Amino acid sequence: MKLAFPESTLDLNSPVAMAIVNVTPDSFSDGGRFLAAEHAVQHGVEMAAEGAALIDVGGESTRPGAEPVDEVEELRRVVPVIRELTAVAGVPVSIDTSKPALMEAAAEAGAVMINDVNALRADGALQVAVDTGLAVCLMHMQGQPRQMQANPAYGDVVEDVYSFLSERIEACLAAGMDFGRIVIDPGFGFGKTLEHNLTLMRRLGRFRDLGRPLLVGVSRKSMIGTILGRDANERLWGSIALGIMAIERGANILRVHDVAPTIDAMRMIRAVSAGDDQQVVRQDG
């Protein structure tokens, strides 16, 4: 399976890691650490060197209860980072936003993908995505970040999310978007209880029926903290465990904070799946 960018493609026959670069003061895990553009760029370059196949740059936190960021400030935060990473990181860059103006500016700065927690539902977002020619990730979210965890409810969380994503794919195709540009994300933690998240993971394979690459973002999420009693920066092992389970159930892209450990886990999965025991022996010396 491949994902089409404006002038290239990403091979997803083996799972890849998407590195998270939050240019924000209030993201749940690393808020404030990379708010300065030079720090964000350095962080992105380091994660590309560790093996990330994509870098996802965001200037507005989407954690539960997060306050919205105005367009001008979000532009100020992310555009210089995207422009520089495009020039020096050596891997494709994605913009994590729901605002059409940010999508346009990011495309001009060199981004090749839009990662939208609102699945291109904002006024004008779908048309901008079509016009830019960028790849898109359509994510499911019930409600909006400020109140999405107030009382999320579903009939069947898997089938409800599946129906939503199917409808958004159809909307994209009807607007003229190529099918090969679309990625889907069930939205772990976005308007879901712990049990909803666990059910999504158990039945994640259902989303393969949509025929598009599957992105999963569970890195350091609160579901891990609830189960393990760990703070956000102590959730590596839980994140890796969920990432492995996601890959086993069909995930093509893992969106992560911790690239190097994730890449190690992916390499082990790949070696076992291929049955190439000699390759593992050689790498271990």
Ranges assigned E (strand) in the chain: 2-4, 9-11, 16-22, 54-58, 93-96, 113-116, 135-139, 182-185, 215-216, 253-256
DSSP state of 204: G
Active site includes 99?
Answer: no
Active site includes 255?
Answer: yes
Written as one letter, the residue type at 216 is: V
Residues recorded for the chain: 285
The answer to whether 136 touches 177, Cβ cutoff 8 Å, is yes
From residue 284, alpha-carbon distances to 16, 88, 280 in Å are: 22, 31, 6
143: left (phi over 0), alpha (psi -120 to 50) or beta: left
From the candidates 255, 267, 270, 282, which is the catalytic residue?
A: 255
Residue with tokens 């999310």: 161
Give the residue from 57, 60, 56 showing the smallest Cα distance to 28. Answer: 60
108-119: string of b/e by CB count within 10 Å (b at 16+)?
Answer: ebbbbbbbbbbb
The answer to whether 108 touches 130, Cβ cutoff 8 Å, is no
From residue 51, alpha-carbon distances to 165, 183, 219 in Å are: 29, 20, 16
From the candidates 83, 221, 235, 249, which is the catalytic residue?
A: 221
Written as one letter, the residue type at 33 is: R
Q: Mind telling me the catalytic residues?
A: 221, 255
